[in-house]
Structure 1
Amino acid sequence: MQRRDFMALGAATLANGLTAATAADTVPEPRATHPETLTQKPLTFNPKKLDGISEKMIVSHHDNNYAGAVKRSKAIEEKIAALSSSVNPFELGALKREQMVALNSMILHEYYFDALGAAGAMESKLKSMLEFSFRTVSEWENEFKKTALSLSGGSGWVFLVYNERIKRLENVWSWDHMHGLWDSKIILALDMYEHSYQMDFGANAKGYIDAFFKNINWDVVNARIGAIA
């Protein structure tokens, strides 16, 4: 091999090495996931002591539906973190939609379960805010229950929220974990998906809603109201 051929070969090898190194350097590291923030919370009450709602139904709801939402949230986060920058927008969009459903399901179930346990009583601040927003506590309860009944036989949630925009409480209808009132804080959440009541109540959604009200942990609800300035 002549000297100039050897030099040309060396230059080409060096160039190829630099190109490979540059390409390797531009491959993004997998995005960090945070599984420690997506963990299943235990029930905060004794499910055997609920009034009119069986331990079997609550434990099944918690360990299957809620736990399933936590697992799906983790799995979807890992899928999104592993995507390349050239991902098809529709593929990313589909994952983002599923992520919203799973994360909202996880979070809303936590609001629901945390406010069960039949403890305490409605305090004056909550009572005053309900009267300001609905005229009377009974009118609020009637509207909340009827909103829940409108979802019977289907899927959805009902929330009592504090609307930061208009500075009052509102009952909110929600469908498919995807609807909410922006700029609001959840005070009370009622799961109206059929899995939340069919085991005990069959198609009797009204019986389930009445039982839910018997088992509200007002200490938790009062604390949520107390956190509002």
Structure 2
Amino acid sequence: MTDISRRSLAAGAGLLAGAFAFGARAQQSAPQVTTAIPVPKATAKPLVINPEKVKGLSADLLRAHHDGIYADEVKKLNDIGEELSRIDLAEVTPGRLGELKRDEQATQNSTLLHELYFDGLAEAPTQPAGLLSQALSRDFGSLDRWKAEFALIGRSLDAGSGWVILAYAPREKRLFNYRAENDAMSPAGGVPLLAMDMYEHAYAADYGTDTAKYIEAFVQAIKWTNAERHYREAMRV
């Protein structure tokens, strides 16, 4: 065997050994993609208001909305979380993971917005006060103008889906009314203070397709003390 052949053989053996060593190191340092991770369970919040006393929205509608639609969203969120916690990132397709993350975002938004919706309902009429009242006048001109804009946004969602959200934007340090056409949309950088559900399940049993009457009933039933509390918390963000 010539010197050139010996050197080539030795170089090839060295490269092969190096490749095995690199593969072993890579295997040792690779992230654990198959180990299940703990996921906190979401728990449906109870309906703290007496549905018999909310003016403009029937008790049957509110109970069906809370105990059916909202509770189902919480269960769905937990089911998605369980599947994501067990997923093998080395085997799952990008498409399947994308679907799960899309559904997770929409369901999490729906869960949180429903909680805000029920939290925003009062058994007796209230009016905004304190810092929130001042902010509504500052950012919308007046409470009446805020109501008019909020209601018109709701009426623009006449296809039986979506949300109208009053939110505080910490970056701009002001209030906005946001329009979400579905559960997947959420105000980026905004902290929701009040949410009006514009899906059919929120009003059809009482008002059919008359969203204007439903919107008026909702606005009249707002529990402004809770919105004020959320606003004070949001200003610390």
TM-score normalized with structure 1 length:
0.85
Q: What are the within-5 Å matches in structure 2 for residues 64-75 of structure 1?
A: 64-75=68-79
1:89 alignment counterpart: 94
1:168 alignment counterpart: 174
Q: CA deviation at 1:225?
A: 1.8
Task: Give, as a single letter, the amino acid of the residue that structure 1 aligns with 2:67.
Answer: D
1:47 alignment counterpart: 51
TM-score normalized with structure 2 length:
0.82
Contact persistence 1:188–1:221 (CA under 8 A): yes
What SS does the corresponding residue of 2:178 show, helix, strand or coil? strand
Offset from partner CA, 1:27-67 (integer Å, 9 cap, x none): 843221222xx001001110010111100000000111101
Task: Give, as a single letter, the amino acid of the residue that structure 2 aligns with 1:212.
Answer: F
1:113 alignment counterpart: 118
Contact persistence 1:153–1:203 (CA under 8 A): no
Q: CA deviation at 1:163?
A: 1.2
Q: What are the within-5 Å matches in structure 2 for residues 1-229 of structure 1?
A: 28-35=34-41, 38-86=42-90, 87-119=92-124, 120-227=126-233, 228-229=235-236
Can you give the 5+ residue segments of structure 2 that lack an aligned partner in the other structure? 1-26
Contact persistence 1:159–1:190 (CA under 8 A): yes
Q: CA deviation at 1:105?
A: 0.8
Can you give the 5+ residue segments of structure 1 that lack an aligned partner in the other structure? 1-21
Offset from partner CA, 1:91-119 (integer Å, 9 cap, x none): 10011111111111111100100111245
Q: CA deviation at 1:172?
A: 0.3
Contact persistence 1:157–1:193 (CA under 8 A): yes
Contact persistence 2:33–2:89 (CA under 8 A): no
List, as ranges, runs of 4+ consecutive aligned residues in structure 1 with deviation greater than 2 Å.
Answer: 26-29, 118-121
Distance in 1 (alpha carbons) for counterparts of 2:123 and 2:139: 24
Give the paired residue count: 205
Distance in 2 (alpha carbons) for counterparts of 1:89 and 1:223: 41
What SS does the corresponding residue of 2:166 show, helix, strand or coil? strand
**Residues 131, 96 of structure 1: CA spacing in aligned structure 2 closer, same or farther, 3 A cutoff?**
same
